[in-house]
Structure 1
Amino acid sequence: MPSYASKECDFPAIFNLGDSNSDTGALAAAFNWTPPPYGETFFHKPVGRFSDGRLIIDFIARSLGLPFLSAYLNSLGTNFTNGANFASAAATIGPPEYIIPVGGFSPFYLDVQYWQLKQFIYRSQILKKQGGVYGDLMPMKEYFSKALYTMDIGQNDLGQGFSSNRSIEEVNASVPDIVNSFSTHVKNIYGLGARTFWIHNTGPIGCLAYIFVNFPPNADQMDSAGCAKPYNEVAQYFNYKLKKAIVQLRKDLPLAALTYVDIYSAKYSLFLEPEKYGFELPLVTCCGLGGEYNYGNGDCGTTVTVNGSQIFIGACKNPSTRIVWDGIHYTEAANKIIFDKISTGAFSDPPIPLKMACHSSPDKKQID
């Protein structure tokens, strides 16, 4: 380990922006709370997360000695002392073309999450000065500059393109504008005082059941892991452009420490070698119903009618042996392994562990 990174960072708080990969209750609070069996593995009840248990952001928080992040939009039982979560399931970077309940995407896209963060910084300090019980639930002013800012978003921008019947080429053509918008938001958040960013790229969407069922690939488009190559290649292109954008951001924001995290490779490794990590049926959904991938006849936690019979769509017997929870999101078991992989810095550029992410790379020559 280089000497510059010999001291662990002291992150007093985490502020997170993103989509369902890190939403701890925003979309559920705004619309419909997640039903059982969501949350069953760790929390033993639904807690607004789109998984059977903890998400990567939960493991990040606990590894830093911090409590789970409260969703900014969840008005019940929230505590923002050590940070806040602005992520929303179904969120995009750019403005969504159609939103819940008319369409499938969140109204709380990245612009809105930034506005919420900006407002939170201002209003939380008014409450802090007033004191009392509400003031006690707000972060200290100095936390905003010392905090870790985590971001995981972009998957739904690609998914929106596919669901709008755009070709692979058309979705690829939209990527530069999407990434430029992301860069603008990083600069804006930096302008609010943020200095340490931990930024995930997007995962292998071509390994998820919702892609197989809704946008069926041809047999010759499948790779050795059984994933759909064309869709994964779109994700890889997005990640390529995102990495280049972060290289530029390091030049534009000299006081920032920006870590690019290759979540794609960490996630894809589970599909490539499932047995190595104790997983079975890597492409088959745990909580679902229908067809080869156990997905497509209804949403996890709902009741559907099949051949005149009412069937509750519940979880598989042992979620810890599955990678995919509901056809779109990952199980707690998968999230834990992914966190263990990325927290070491082995999937990061620069290769700095999570607990040392406040240190900028000493090498001025960035990787293209």
Structure 2
Amino acid sequence: MGIARVVFVALVFSLAWAGGAGETLFRATPPCDFPAIYNFGDSNSDTGGISAVFGPIPPPYGESFFRRPAGRASDGRLLIDFIAEHLGLPYLSSYLDSIGSNYRHGANFATGGSTIRRQNESIFENGLSPFSLDIQTAHFNQFKERTSELYHQDKNPFDVNKLPRPREFSRALYTFDIGQNDLTAGFRKLSAVQLEAAILDIVNQFAMAITHLYQLGARAFWIHNTGPIGCLPAAAFYIQNPKPGFLDKYGCIRDQNNMAVEFNRQLKTRVEKLRQELPRAALIYVDIYTAKYHLIRNAKYYGFMDPWKICCGHHEKNISVWCGQRTIINDTEIFGGSCGSPTTYISWDGVHYTQAANHWIANTILNGSFSDPPKPIDHACLKHKM
């Protein structure tokens, strides 16, 4: 057996052992029994916010599970959906979606294109959202205050049944998946030196949001770092004849991944500091980067095809038609349709993951294998011992 194979097997074994050990360690401890989830993030966890504000995501999004577009940038469920399933809670309604929403067990403040800090560039031209993290936490504050007012008025029992109980806000799980768009915006308008210098401010603004929620009563935080941005197929659409060293041995853009790693390093350090600043908080840092990169490196081992293949959209010979879009080229209509078998793909549309990949990631991280401290999500309310 080659050295690479030995290392790979050892890694898989160690991850499986860590997950099993973590679950065994906490088996004797009652789970947290979270009554609700409040999520903050970007398109990786948006369940309908950006669709409610700017118009619905078109077919074939949602085809694998919801059988229709469901406000999610995937063919089906996102990681936040699998988190809700794992905790026995319903899927989260978007705070920005007023039609048919039920907030009894939480709300989703994430919107596609969101960043941690506000952007000075044109948000619409560059695919960014006006709902940066500080706006999302302001929405939560408004949601919490309005919920309390309506609940205590108790004029309409039907409406009250769609609202969380005020006493349950402090017992809920607060999840975060945001930061990717801050880096991608930086890649467009900043030099590498400037972007690296900006990371400290981005991370500090992330910490300010968590501190604000803590002051509002939040106690259990599940915080994802950012993924391997340089491994997104869309990152390589227009790259031709890259210089030696530009790509790593798996085809990912090395500099972009290095910047994501630096962001994650600083984020983890800041979370460690927050544990001292917020003494009653339980803060779990989740290494999504390593989980996703492991899947991309070993796609075939886990039953997926080439991770650079995209299920939805048409991208070839300098022609790009994004998923669900149509265009006319040389009097011929080209549709960015679905591959028809997304279960074998990691990338859905070049930027977002398929439901199958999201499911794999959920199964990999929720047992605590990639968490610091290594706690399964259903024990994330337990405070870290300093």
TM-score by length of 2: 0.90
- How far apart, in 2, do the equivalents of 1:120 and 1:358 lie? 22
Cα deviation, 1:209-264, whole Å, max 9, x if unaligned, reads: 22112567535221222211111000000000000000000000010000000000
Is 1:161 equivalent to 2:186 in the alignment?
A: yes
- How far apart, in 2, do the equivalents of 1:47 and 1:54 lie? 9
**Partner residue, 2:232:** 208
Residue 101 of structure 1: how far off its partner (Å): 3.3
**Percent of aligned pairs with the same amino acid:** 48
- How far apart, in 2, do the equivalents of 1:285 and 1:109 lie? 28
Give matches, 1:1-368, under 5 Å.
1-2=24-25, 6-131=29-154, 132=156, 133-164=158-189, 166-213=190-237, 218-291=243-316, 297-362=320-385, 364=386
- How far apart, in 1, do the equivalents of 2:310 and 2:277 lie? 42
Q: Mean alpha-carbon deviation: is it higher for 350-359 or for 94-103?
A: 94-103
Consecutive unaligned residues in structure 2, runs of 5 or more = 1-23
* Contact 1:288–1:296 under 8 Å retained in 2: no
* Contact 2:43–2:113 under 8 Å retained in 1: yes
* Contact 1:14–1:149 under 8 Å retained in 2: yes
Q: 1:154 to 1:296 in 2, by over 3 A?
A: farther
- How far apart, in 1, do the equivalents of 2:314 and 2:32 lie? 45
- How far apart, in 2, do the equivalents of 1:88 and 1:146 lie? 24
* Contact 2:26–2:379 under 8 Å retained in 1: no
- How far apart, in 2, do the equivalents of 1:14 and 1:225 lie? 36
Structural RMSD (CA): 1.6
Residue 298 of structure 1: how far off its partner (Å): 2.3
Residue 199 of structure 1: how far off its partner (Å): 0.1
- How far apart, in 1, do the equivalents of 2:348 and 2:243 lie? 24
Q: 1:92 to 1:214 in 2, by over 3 A?
A: farther
Q: Mean alpha-carbon deviation: is it higher for 125-134 or for 142-151?
A: 125-134
The SS at the match of 1:151 is: strand
* Contact 2:228–2:289 under 8 Å retained in 1: yes
* Contact 1:213–1:296 under 8 Å retained in 2: no
* Contact 1:18–1:151 under 8 Å retained in 2: yes
The SS at the match of 1:274 is: coil
Consecutive unaligned residues in structure 1, runs of 5 or more = none
The SS at the match of 1:16 is: strand
Amino acid at match of 1:342: I
Q: 1:307 to 1:87 in 2, by over 3 A?
A: same
Cα deviation, 1:179-226, whole Å, max 9, x if unaligned, reads: 011011110010010000000000000001221125675352212222
**Partner residue, 2:6:** none
- How far apart, in 1, do the equivalents of 2:150 and 2:125 lie? 36
Amino acid at match of 2:166: K
Amino acid at match of 1:185: A
- How far apart, in 1, do the equivalents of 2:121 and 2:162 lie? 35
- How far apart, in 1, do the equivalents of 2:216 and 2:239 lie? 40
Q: 1:5 to 1:193 in 2, by over 3 A?
A: farther
Cα deviation, 1:320-355, whole Å, max 9, x if unaligned, reads: 111011111100000000000100100000000011
- How far apart, in 2, do the equivalents of 1:91 and 1:83 lie? 20
Amino acid at match of 1:71: S
- How far apart, in 2, do the equivalents of 1:148 and 1:288 lie? 35
The count of residues paired between Structure 1 and Structure 2 equals 360
Residue 291 of structure 1: how far off its partner (Å): 2.5
TM-score by length of 1: 0.94
- How far apart, in 2, do the equivalents of 1:24 and 1:183 lie? 24
Q: 1:168 to 1:332 in 2, by over 3 A?
A: same
Amino acid at match of 1:19: D
Q: Mean alpha-carbon deviation: is it higher for 147-156 or for 268-277?
A: 268-277
Amino acid at match of 1:167: S
Amino acid at match of 1:73: L
Q: 1:5 to 1:236 in 2, by over 3 A?
A: farther
The SS at the match of 1:35 is: coil
Q: 1:5 to 1:29 in 2, by over 3 A?
A: farther
The SS at the match of 1:352 is: coil
- How far apart, in 2, do the equivalents of 1:214 and 1:93 lie? 27
The SS at the match of 2:315 is: coil
- How far apart, in 1, do the equivalents of 2:55 and 2:228 lie? 27
- How far apart, in 2, do the equivalents of 1:296 and 1:343 lie? 39
The SS at the match of 2:237 is: helix
Residue 163 of structure 1: how far off its partner (Å): 2.1
